[in-house]
């Protein structure tokens, strides 16, 4: 048994719409709106199913549609958005006024895909086809697979001038705010895992977790502590960062050793010692939280997130934390929020929105950029 058809199709017309049908639908919707698509065909005198009417209206008859060939800038925007959103055509379409998801999908399949292939770029991964070997060490200086987002300025352009990509090298990933840094470094210099102590393995697993989470889109890239502490050095950054920051810093570095998050009853404070990178791949993990319920509440509410205006960051752990919250989506005000929504998958019902899909390496970097820019 298959699924029941969306409506009784006996006697209903299929195939291309006639001008007369179009006119009936337009007239009806302009006069009455469409409270219920299923009722529309009956009321409009059409022998079509409601679904068909909706499709015809949204993809073809809507008065706000922009017909005609997509411009170069629209095409570029589609490529950029696709790099971050994948085949989420409706999401992509929402960034192109007057264009429909169907139109963009068709355009992608018939034009852009071929164009990218001709350019030697995989239209799925947006990476060079010759560099398709998975490389977990994607930030290493040796890596040639640093992702390029078409149409976007090179990701490095977003980075603050003194932010060297090399520190993101897996080997240099350190447990944030943890005094096992030395052990970690020493351990990572050894290749044979059997040589590692339990503590070292633990540190290594943290790094593994960071890498895994980054590649699977469920966490954040571990921020090298040394670099994180150096954010103050980035003051006076490149103008391109204004693209994200809008010159309205949300975060301020001060001397506080605590991460402070506004709570319904005041200000929640998280001391460094409870922020354990071991759990960083799952930001909702209870071990990461001083008060799991409260923090989860903070993070799960879109509206409430908006009220988190000025977390105060000074340590790597705090910055890491802030970064996580920033990329959950709502911390950036419009228009940054809309930009961020184009970069991050948004599901406001998710306890940790923005982490619900495959997030690519460059997403992580752009998040870092958003995050960094928010400091200026």
Binding residues for DNA, rule: CB under 7 A, are: 2-3, 5-7, 9, 13-17, 34, 36-38, 48, 50-52, 54-56, 59-60, 87-91, 101-103, 105-107, 109-111, 114, 347, 349
Closer to DNA at the Cβ: 118 or 142? 118
Cα–Cα distance for residue pair 215/198, rounded to 1 Å: 25
Tokens of 102: 């169907």
CB of 172 to DNA, least distance (A): 37
CB of 250 to DNA, least distance (A): 27
| Alpha helical stretches, state H, the chain | 19-32, 40-44, 50-56, 72-85, 89-93, 101-107, 113-118, 155-158, 181-189, 198-216, 225-229, 242-245, 292-300, 302-307, 316-328, 336-343, 361-373
Residue labelled with tokens 């302009």? 30
Please state, in angstroms and rounded to a whole number, the distance separating the CA atoms of residues 94 and 107: 15
Query: Which CB atom, from 2 or from 266, has the smaller least distance to DNA?
Result: 2
* Closest distance of CB 43 from DNA, Å: 12
Phi-psi region of 248 (alpha: psi -120 to 50; beta: other; left: phi over 0): beta
Reference 363, options 331, 323, 306; nearest CA is: 323
Q: In the complex with DNA, which residue's Cβ is closer, 13 or 201?
A: 13
- If the CB atoms of residues 54 and 170 are measured against DNA, the closer one turns out to be 54
> Sign of torsion, CA 35 36 42 44?
positive
Minimum CB separation of residue 302 from DNA in Å reads 12
CB of 69 to DNA, least distance (A): 7
If you search the block for the tokens 């018939």, which residue do you land on?
A: 110
**Nearer to DNA by C-beta: 246 or 357?**
357
* 90 versus 285: smaller Cβ distance to DNA: 90
- How far apart are CB 300 and DNA at their closest, in Å? 14
Instruction: Enumerate residues 6+ apart whose C-beta is below 8 A from 99.
Output: 65, 66, 70, 74, 93
């Amino acid at each position: 048994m298959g699924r029941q058809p969306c409506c009784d199709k006996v006697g209903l017309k299929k195939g291309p719409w006639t001008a007369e049908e179009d006119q009936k639908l337009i007239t009806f919707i302009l006069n009455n709106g469409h409270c219920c698509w299923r009722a529309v065909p009956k009321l409009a005198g059409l022998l079509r199913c409601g679904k068909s009417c909706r499709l015809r209206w949204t993809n073809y008859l809507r008065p706000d549609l922009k017909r005609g060939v997509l411009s170069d800038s629209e095409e570029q925007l589609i490529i950029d958005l696709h790099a971050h959103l994948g085949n989420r055509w409706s999401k992509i379409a929402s960034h192109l006024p007057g264009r429909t998801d169907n139109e963009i999908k068709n355009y992608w399949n018939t034009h852009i895909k071929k164009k990218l292939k001709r350019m030697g770029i995989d239209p799925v991964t947006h990476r060079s086809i010759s560099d398709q070997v998975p490389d977990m060490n994607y930030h290493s200086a040796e890596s040639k697979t640093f992702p390029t987002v078409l149409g976007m300025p090179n990701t490095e352009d977003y980075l603050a001038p003194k932010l060297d990509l090399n520190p993101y090298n897996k080997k240099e990933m350190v447990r944030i705010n943890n005094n096992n840094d030395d052990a970690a470094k020493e351990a990572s210099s050894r290749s044979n895992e059997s040589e590692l102590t339990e503590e070292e393995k633990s540190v290594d697993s943290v790094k593994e977790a960071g890498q895994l989470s980054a590649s699977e889109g469920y966490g954040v890239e571990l921020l090298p502590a040394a670099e994180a502490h150096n954010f103050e050095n980035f003051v006076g950054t490149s103008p391109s960062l204004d693209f994200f920051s809008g010159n309205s810093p949300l975060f301020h570095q001060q001397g506080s050793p605590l991460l402070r998050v506004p709570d319904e009853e005041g200000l929640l404070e998280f001391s460094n010692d409870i922020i354990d990178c071991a759990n960083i791949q799952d930001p909702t993990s209870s071990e990461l939280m001083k008060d799991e319920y409260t923090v989860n509440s903070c993070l799960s509410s879109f509206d409430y997130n908006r009220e988190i205006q000025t977390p105060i960051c000074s340590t790597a752990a705090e910055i890491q934390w802030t970064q996580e919250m920033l990329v959950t989506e709502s911390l950036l005000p419009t228009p940054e929020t809309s930009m961020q929504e184009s970069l991050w998958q948004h599901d406001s019902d998710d306890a940790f929105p923005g982490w619900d899909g495959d997030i690519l390496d460059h997403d992580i970097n752009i998040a870092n950029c958003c995050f960094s820019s928010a400091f200026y």
